[in-house]
């Protein structure tokens, strides 16, 4: 099982760009996470009305707790995690070590970010859980994700070359400017489920935060280069048609 990550800060437009890549994909040599999960579910041995009802429900675009729970149950996600998570022990241990045991880091985070920290704590486990599912069912096509292990691990800089085999097959690094990202985040501020931290910031604080995020993601890319992870840089100031063509070419090459 291999995966390719879109890399860039919150609000840059990763999900939108992945949707465009999906719509403009000529050959289905790679899939999104949801496409991969649906393929696995479709191969499960369900018959008749039960199969049709299950497929209909899981194919709906809405996201809620019941759908998520049913999907995890059908995919035997708990069993998959128990069977496969050891392959990612180095990354998981590193993440929780710095997240939960580094007192200096916890002090720097401050009280207002506790809910944010807890949210990503849970989300990170879910990301690893999906990788375990794909391993468990021996899924072979490369999976392209807009929320991946590197994307959501703020301590990726500390990873050693020893763990190279557990890192993505490739990265699509997305570049944009502070103003564009700011406008995207402003439109998100009142959306349920979006990052909580942005709601408490005024314009100046948010722009400073965005600039810091851009610098952090540049550091992540620099580290990925040292690990020789294949990558491509996509600049949103360029024509979108050109970006889609280049990115899909890169994905086809990796697949």
* Mean pLDDT confidence for 141-161: 68
Give the CATH number, domain containing residue 147.
3.40.50
Residue 198, pLDDT above cutoff 70: no
Q: Is residue 46 part of a domain?
A: no
What distance in Å separates the CA atoms of residue 77 and residue 187, rounded to the nearest whole number?
A: 34
pLDDT average, residue stretch 6-20: 92
Cα–Cα dist 210/222, whole Å: 18
The 3-state DSSP class for residue 8 equals coil
Structural domain includes residue 168:
yes
Alpha helices in 143-255 (DSSP H): 178-188, 203-226, 240-254
In a domain, 48, yes or no: no
Residue 61: inside a domain: no
Round to whole Å and give the CA distance between 117 and 129: 18
* Residue 165, phi then psi, degrees to nearest 5: -65, -15
Give backbone dihedrals phi and psi of 232, rounded to 5 degrees, phi first: -140, 145
Q: Which domain holds residue 108?
A: 3-30+76-254
Q: Is residue 84 part of a domain?
A: yes
Q: What percent of the chain has pLDDT over 90?
A: 28
Which is nearest to 59 in space by CA: 25, 78, 35? 35
Residue 183 lies in a domain: yes
Q: How many domains does one find in the chain? A: 1
Q: Model-level pTM greater than 0.75?
A: yes
Average pLDDT of every residue of the chain: 78
- Give tens-digit pLDDT for 66-104: 667 777 777 888 888 888 888 777 666 666 655 555 555
Q: Which one is predicted more confidently, 234 or 128?
A: 234
Q: What is the mean pLDDT of residues 206-221?
A: 87
Residue 115 lies in a domain: yes
- The pLDDT tens digits of the residues spanning 15-68 come to 999 999 999 998 899 999 889 988 888 777 666 666 667 667 766 665 565 667
Please report, rounded to a whole number, the percentage of residues in the chain having pLDDT higher than 70: 65
What confidence score (pLDDT) does residue 46 get?
Answer: 67
At 157 the pLDDT is 45
Asked if residue 54 belongs to a domain, the reply is: no
User: How far apart are the C-alpha atoms of 49 and 55, rounded to whole Å?
Assistant: 10
Question: Side by side, which strands form the sheet with 31-32?
Answer: 31-32, 143-145, 3-7, 170-175, 231-235
Beta bridge partners of 171: 5, 231
């Amino acid at each position: 099982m291999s995966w390719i990550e879109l890399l860039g800060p919150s609000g840059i437009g990763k999900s939108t760009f992945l949707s465009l890549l999906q719509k403009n994909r000529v050959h289905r040599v790679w899939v999104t996470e949801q496409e991969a999960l649906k393929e696995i579910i479709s191969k499960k041995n369900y018959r008749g009305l039960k199969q049709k009802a299950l497929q209909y429900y899981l194919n709906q675009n809405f996201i809620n707790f019941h759908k998520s729970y049913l999907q995890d149950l059908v995919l035997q996600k708990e069993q998959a995690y128990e069977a496969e998570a050891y392959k990612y022990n180095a990354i998981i241990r590193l993440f929780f070590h710095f997240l939960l045991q580094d007192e200096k880091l916890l002090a720097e985070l401050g009280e207002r970010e506790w809910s944010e920290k807890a949210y990503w704590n849970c989300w990170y486990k879910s990301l690893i859980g999906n990788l375990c599912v794909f391993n468990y069912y021996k899924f072979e096509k490369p999976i392209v994700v807009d929320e991946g292990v590197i994307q959501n691990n703020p301590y990726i800089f500390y990873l050693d070359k020893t763990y190279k085999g557990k890192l993505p097959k490739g990265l699509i690094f997305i570049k944009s400017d502070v103003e564009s990202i700011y406008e995207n985040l402003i439109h998100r501020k009142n959306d349920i489920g979006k990052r909580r931290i942005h709601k408490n910031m005024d314009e100046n604080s948010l722009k400073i935060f965005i600039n810091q995020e851009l610098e952090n993601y540049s550091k992540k890319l620099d580290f990925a280069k040292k690990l020789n992870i294949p990558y491509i840089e996509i600049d949103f100031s360029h024509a979108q048609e050109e970006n889609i063509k280049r990115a899909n070419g890169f994905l086809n090459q990796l697949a």
